[in-house]
Amino acid sequence: MQFDRLPLLEILAECAESQNAAFHTPGHKRGQGSFKAFQQLVGDRTLQADLPELPELDNLFAPQGAIAQAQTLAAQTFGAGQTWFLANGSTAGIIAAILATCNPGDKILLPRNVHQSAISGLILSGAMPIFLQPEYDANLDIAHSVTPETVAIALQTHPDVKAILIVYPTYYGVCAEIQAIANLAHAAGIPLLVDEAHGAHFAFHPDLPISALSAGADLTVQSTHKTLSALTQASMLHVQGERIDRDRIARSMQLVQSTSPNYLLLASLDAARAQMAIEGKELMARTLELADQARSSIAEIPNLSVFQPPEPFQFDRTRLTVTVSQLGIDGFTADEILHQNLGVTAELPSLQHLTFIISLGNTETDIDQLVQALKQLPSGSFSPMQISEFDLPETVMSPREAFFAGSETVETHLAIDRVSAELICPYPPGIPVLLPGERITKGAIASLKAVLAAGGFISGCSDSSLNTLKVLR
C-alpha cells in the first residue's frame, strides 16, 4: 500500500478549484453567498471545498472511488479488516455497533460508566442492558474499567448475551485487561465491541497501551479527532474477523449518519490517516515525551498530585489528570481560574481533578504554560466529601420501552420505588445512577444528593437541583 497517498483529500482539492457554475447544494455556492463575517473566519479556500456528493467525490454509503480507497488505506494503517469513515462522530459508530449485533430483547454486557451514545443505541435497538460495575476509587472519585473477573461472572449468569461492549480507555486513560476480555467473549461465541473513542493513537507506539484491534476486539470505534489530527466530529469504525455482519454494519450506519456528509470532515480523516502512517511513531514518541515532562514537573508542585491507576490496569500516559483538592479548591474553581486568568484550558474538570489531553498537536511551550499556571493556583478551604459506590438498581423494562412510555414529573421524595424516565448521571464519579426503565431507590437519591452537597453536579435530568424527577406514569 502507498500510505502517503491521499485519494480523498486530493480529489476534493481538485474539485474545489473547479470553475463550473454551481447549481447544486450547498446554498452558499463555493462561498459566493456566504455571510462576510463567516467568510473572514474560515477563509475562501474552506468554503470552496465545502462540496456535496459530486461524482468525483464518491458516495459515503456506497463507496467505489476516492472514499473506498481512503477507507482501505485506513484499514491497513489501523490494522482492521474493514474501516468506515464517520461524519457524525463516534456516537454514530457506537449506535451502529449495537444495532448491528443486537435484536430487540437481546442482552448486551456493558460497563455502567458507558458513554451516553450506548444508551441511545439501547433505545434504538431495543436491546436489554446487563450492566457491569467498574472498579471504583472512592477516595479519588474516579471510576476505572471492568475486570475480566466481573465479565466472566456476568457471562455465567447470562449465557444468552449477544455481545460485550467495553470502554477502552476511560476518560481518565485507564485501560481494561482487554485481551483477557476478548478471550472471554470469543469463548462464549460473541463479539467484543470497543468504545475506543479516546484511543485512536494506541496503534502507533509500543509504549502506549495495546490497540483494541491488536488485542482481539471484533469492532472498535475511534474518535480520530480527539487524539489525532482530524476535524471535530470525524471518526472511524473498524471491524476485523467474521463475528460481525459487515453488511448489517453498513445498513446500520445509514440509519445514524447524515445523507449529506461533510467532505471536509471525511478528507480530514484521510489526512490524519496518512500522517500517522508516515510519521505516527515519531509523533507519538514526542507526545509521550511531553506528557512525561509534564507529569514529572507537576508532581514537584506542592499539594498537587498526578493520577496513576492501580494494577492490573494499563494506562495512557498522554492523559494527564491532576488532583487539585489538596490545595483546598475544587476542580471546577481551578478550571475557571486557569481558563479565565492563566491562559490554560483543561479538557475535563471534576470535583477533585482537572484532566488534560496531551496530543501530537501540543508543544513544549504548551507544557511550560501548563506547569507555570498550575503553580499559580491559590489555596482554599474546600474539603471533598467521600462519595460511596452505589448498588446497581433494578431494571424494570428496557431503555427503549421506558423512552416511549408516558412520563410525569413528581417531587423527588415521591419518586422512590417509581420507574425512572430519565438518564441521571452525577459528576463525580461520572457513572449513571439511574437510566430510563430502572427502579428509583432511597440509596440512589441519597447518592445523588451527596454529590450535590459535595459541590458536584447532576446531568441528564430535567431538574438539575434534584427537587423533582421524571418518572413513568
Whether the per-residue pLDDT at 410 is higher than 90: the answer is yes
Average pLDDT in the 431-447 region?
A: 90
pLDDT recorded at residue 429: 64
pLDDT class for 458, splitting at 50, 70, 90? Answer: confident
Average pLDDT in the 91-112 region?
A: 97
Whether the per-residue pLDDT at 21 is higher than 80: the answer is yes
Closest CA to 211 of 108, 77, 117: 77
pLDDT recorded at residue 428: 61
CB 433 within 8 A of CB 448: yes
pLDDT class for 68, splitting at 50, 70, 90? Answer: very high
Per the prediction, the chain carries an average pLDDT of 95
How far is residue 61's CA from residue 67's CA, in Å, rounded to a whole number? 10
CB 30 within 8 A of CB 47: yes
pLDDT class for 277, splitting at 50, 70, 90? Answer: very high
Least confident of 15-19, 135-139, 150-154, 447-451: 447-451
Whether the per-residue pLDDT at 451 is higher than 90: the answer is no
pLDDT recorded at residue 455: 72
Closest CA to 218 of 250, 181, 248, 182: 182
Beta strand ranges found along 101-248 (DSSP E) = 107-111, 128-132, 136-137, 142-143, 163-167, 174-175, 192-195, 219-222, 235-239
pLDDT recorded at residue 387: 63
The structural domains of the chain, with segments of one domain joined by +, span 7-277, 281-375, 399-472
Least confident of 36-45, 165-174, 388-397, 398-407: 388-397
Average pLDDT in the 206-230 region?
A: 98
* 263-299 vs 364-375: helix crossing angle, rounded to 10: 50
Q: What is the pLDDT of residues 318-351, one digit of tens each?
A: 999 999 999 999 998 999 999 999 999 999 998 8
Q: What is the pLDDT of residues 185-201, one digit of tens each?
A: 999 999 999 999 999 99
Instruction: Record the cell numbers describing residue 386, joined without a space.
Output: 467521600
**What is the longest distance spanned by two Cα atoms in the chain?**
67
Top-confidence residue, 395 or 202: 202
Q: Say how many CA atoms lie within 13 Å of 473 toward its Cβ.
A: 5
Query: Does this chain's domain 281-375 share its CATH topology with 399-472?
Result: no
Average pLDDT in the 397-424 region?
A: 95
Whether the per-residue pLDDT at 215 is higher than 70: the answer is yes
CB 307 within 8 A of CB 324: no
- CATH class belonging to 281-375: alpha beta
pLDDT recorded at residue 384: 79
Average pLDDT in the 92-101 region?
A: 98
CB 443 within 8 A of CB 386: no
How far is residue 148's CA from residue 154's CA, in Å, rounded to a whole number? 10
List all residues 6 or more positions away from 385 whose beta carbon is below 8 Å from its beta carbon: 450, 453, 454
How far is residue 54's CA from residue 260's CA, in Å, rounded to a whole number? 11
Q: What is the pLDDT of residues 353-387, one digit of tens each?
A: 999 999 999 999 999 999 999 999 999 998 876 66
CB 244 within 8 A of CB 99: no
- CATH class belonging to 7-277: alpha beta
How far is residue 471's CA from residue 473's CA, in Å, rounded to a whole number? 6
Percent of the chain with pLDDT over 90: 86
Q: What is the pLDDT of residues 134-165, one digit of tens each?
A: 999 988 889 899 999 999 999 999 999 999 99
The neighbour count for residue 426, using CB atoms within 10 Å, is 28
List all residues 6 or more positions away from 142 whose beta carbon is below 8 Å from its beta carbon: 136, 172, 174, 307, 321, 353, 428, 429
Helix or strand holding residue 408 (H, E): strand 407-411
Rounded (5°) CA angle 316-322-323: 130
CB 83 within 8 A of CB 71: yes
pLDDT recorded at residue 392: 81
- CATH class belonging to 399-472: alpha beta
